[in-house]
Amino acid sequence: MGEPVGPPEVDMHRSSRDPAHLRPRLESWLGGLLPAGADVKIPELEATSANGMSSETILFTAEWTEDGDPQREDLVARVAPDPTDVPVFPSYDLERQFEVIRLVGELSSVPVPKVWWSDAQGRATGVPLFVMERVDGIVPPDVMPYSFGDNWLYDASPEEQRTLQDATVGVLAQLHGIAGADERFAFLNLNDPGSTHLERVINHAKAWYEYAREGHRSSLVERLFSWLDTHLPADPGPTVVSWGDSRIGNVMYKDFRPCAVLDWEMAALGPRELDLAWLVYSHGVFETLASMFELGGMPHFLQAEDVARTYESLTGHAPRDLGFYLTFAAVQWCIVFVRTGLRAVHFGTEQMPDDIDDFIRHRPAVEQLLSEI
């Protein structure tokens, strides 16, 4: 038998914008926000190929004068994608994201970046965006996935990996511990049909699928949704602020502990288990990809039982119905892959397959799940 074929290089091209066009607009906008005579300059600006498949991330440095003293800040602009670039989500409410980050920072010890300014409608800069501080840290890579090897997390000791795992679960415990989520974060209540937050979250995902598929049909997605509809938990439990995209690829770490929790596009109100299952299943996706390329992966890492045990020790809440929530995570990952596959076709980096389910990179795991439920 020959040597296994290694994983292919992945083109993460997701924007047709030239970020340099944003520089004069940012300078003008910030000049109007800062004290008179600030004379804002942006000497450094670049797009980043950081993790994430949704909003664009622009790194820039702003310099200005305030009360006669020179100021310099390293900042990040989160920019809504151009509608012509096949965005992952049908809409991007950046004011909502700005507010959830701001409130989480005020009401908890979750390490979120300081948010500075918002132009959520793009009236000043021409594109919807908000600006936050730039945090120094490192992120487990998506390309190639950290479980493929040859990166700081894969090469870390078992003790360091466990520190990262437990500290990340701790972030969820802190987030879910914010009291009065229904009232303080009422703006996260989804407008989709449903008598509970969980039902609204699921119906929101169904609407997302209808948008993402562009008229194509995914039998895997539709079979998963059918199962979810007939297995809804009778009691979803208490409502918390759900981060929504709670995977380690959306966290910056320093010394294996979170120093910045990022990417809040999917935030909503809902049960605790939404975030726990997404954390576990997202690692499972990378494990499936590693096994498809005959790589060892990280099978000891982010296992459901370990995560649930740690979470219960921190919160006193024993996660329940995790099988349901892991299945919901599976269907959301399918939608992500369908949408990013169609985007790759748009940018000419992939060919359109006969079966749209071929875009679902972890298809063997999904088919195995469907055979067991």
**Which two structure tokens, joined as six digits, stand for 227?**
């199962």
**β-bridge pairing 240-242 and 115-119:** unpaired
Q: Is the separation of the CB atoms in 237 and 320 below 8 Å?
A: yes
- Kindly give the interhelix angle for 322-346 and 363-372, rounded to the nearest 10 degrees: 150
Q: CA 26 to CA 124: how far, in whole Å?
A: 8
Q: Which residues are catalytic?
A: 245
Q: CA 9 to CA 104: how far, in whole Å?
A: 37
b/e per residue 328-357 (b: at least 16 CB within 10 A): bbbbbbbbbbbbbbbbbbbeeebeeeeebb
Q: CA 196 to CA 183: how far, in whole Å?
A: 15
Q: Is the separation of the CB atoms in 274 and 328 below 8 Å?
A: yes
Non-local (6+) Cβ contacts of 60 within 8 A are 23, 26, 42, 44, 45, 46, 74, 75, 76, 77
Q: Is the separation of the CB atoms in 280 and 187 below 8 Å?
A: no
Q: Is the separation of the CB atoms in 75 and 60 below 8 Å?
A: yes
Rounded (10°) CA dihedral 362, 278, 103, 129? 10
Rounded (10°) CA dihedral 109, 113, 118, 121? -90
